[in-house]
């Protein structure tokens, strides 16, 4: 289920991961959910831009809080669904300024390959843990990429401003030169020299 309030867009890293970005105003809680089936594994990574904090909670299909982390700039959680249902997770911003949260939910369809492997549940659980670790690394890479994009935007706008300033200066300089040439020429003309 694609969250409607997602403002940012999807970044892809090696076709493995996609991240969402949401802006959370002061005092606001933004919630998203995932429909899971019993035994499904769901995990999520998140990171607040600029190492600002967010409160994160996750509820199971019965609305019971299964994760409650306050004032953290980042996190990574996984859960195995005990029953079918809607699993909700929320980011809250109790601060006086808006925050930008990058998050990357990993739904069970990313683990399809596990069902195709014919091995013990213990091995599968270990593979799941391994893939969870890989996800975490990839997510960090994706978040880093989005950070760089943001920095790049700042840089580009700065460069834009520098460009216009330089253009303005050039125009001013050319105008002054042209006026001087005209002025000096007119003086010489007036004196009958040219
Ligand atoms: C989460 O934990 C904090 C204390 O650390 C508590 O005040 C808050 O009510 C909890 N939130 C939920 C939804 O349980």
- Secondary structure (H, E, C), 55-85: EEEEECCCCCEEEEEEEECEEEEEEECCCCE
Separation of alpha carbons 139 and 14, rounded Å: 11
Best residue for ligand 1 mutational test, from 68, 69, 75 (most atoms within 8 Å of Cβ): 68
What residue ranges in the chain does DSSP mark as E strands?
20-24, 29-36, 41-48, 54-59, 65-72, 74-80, 85-92, 99-106
Q: How far is CA 80 from CA 3, 20, 88, 108, in A?
A: 21, 22, 14, 10
Q: Please give the pLDDT value at position 5.
A: 34
Phi and psi of 127, rounded to 5°? -65, -35
Strand-pair partners of 23: 100
For the Cβ of 151 lying below 6 angstroms from any atom of ligand 1, the answer is: no
Instruction: Kindly report the pTM of this predicted structure.
Output: 0.63
DSSP 17: B
User: What separation in Å is there between the alpha carbon of 63 and the centre of ligand 1?
Assistant: 14
Is 2.60.40.1930 the CATH classification of the domain at 2-150?
no
3-state secondary structure of 13: strand
Q: What's the order of all strands across the beta sheet hosting 41-48?
A: 20-24, 99-106, 41-48, 74-80
Separation of alpha carbons 21 and 100, rounded Å: 7
Separation of alpha carbons 96 and 71, rounded Å: 13
User: What separation in Å is there between the alpha carbon of 55 and the centre of ligand 1?
Assistant: 9
DSSP 8: S
Could you tell me the residue ranges of all domains in the chain?
Answer: 2-150
Q: What is the pLDDT along the chain (194 residues), one digit of tens a residue?
A: 344 333 333 333 334 445 788 899 999 999 999 999 998 889 999 999 888 999 999 999 999 999 999 999 999 998 989 999 999 999 999 999 999 999 989 887 777 666 666 667 777 777 777 777 777 777 877 777 666 666 667 667 766 776 777 777 778 777 877 777 777 777 777 777 65
Q: Please give the pLDDT value at position 58.
A: 96
CB-neighbour burial class of residue 181 (10 A; exposed 0-12, middle 13-18, buried 19+)? exposed
For the Cβ of 66 lying below 6 angstroms from any atom of ligand 1, the answer is: no
Separation of alpha carbons 180 and 118, rounded Å: 86
For the Cβ of 65 lying below 6 angstroms from any atom of ligand 1, the answer is: yes
């Amino acid at each position: 289920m694609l969250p409607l309030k997602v403002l940012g867009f999807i970044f892809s890293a090696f076709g493995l991961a996609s991240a969402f970005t949401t802006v959370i105003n002061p005092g606001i809680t933004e919630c998203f959910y995932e429909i899971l089936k019993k035994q499904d594994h769901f995990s999520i990574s998140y990171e607040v831009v600029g190492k600002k904090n967010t409160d994160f909670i996750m509820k199971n299909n019965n609305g019971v809080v299964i994760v409650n982390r306050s004032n953290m700039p980042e996190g990574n959680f996984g859960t195995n669904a005990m029953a079918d249902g809607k699993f909700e997770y929320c980011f809250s911003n109790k601060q006086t300024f808006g925050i930008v949260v990058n998050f990357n939910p990993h739904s069970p369809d990313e683990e399809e390959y596990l069902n195709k492997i014919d091995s013990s549940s213990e091995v599968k659980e270990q593979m799941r843990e391994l893939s969870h670790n890989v996800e975490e690394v990839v997510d960090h890479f994706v978040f880093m990429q989005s950070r760089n994009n943001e920095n790049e935007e700042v840089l580009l706008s700065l460069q834009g401003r520098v460009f216009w300033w330089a253009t303005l200066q050039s125009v001013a300089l050319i105008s002054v030169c042209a006026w001087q040439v005209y002025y000096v020429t007119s003086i010489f003309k007036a004196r009958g020299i040219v």
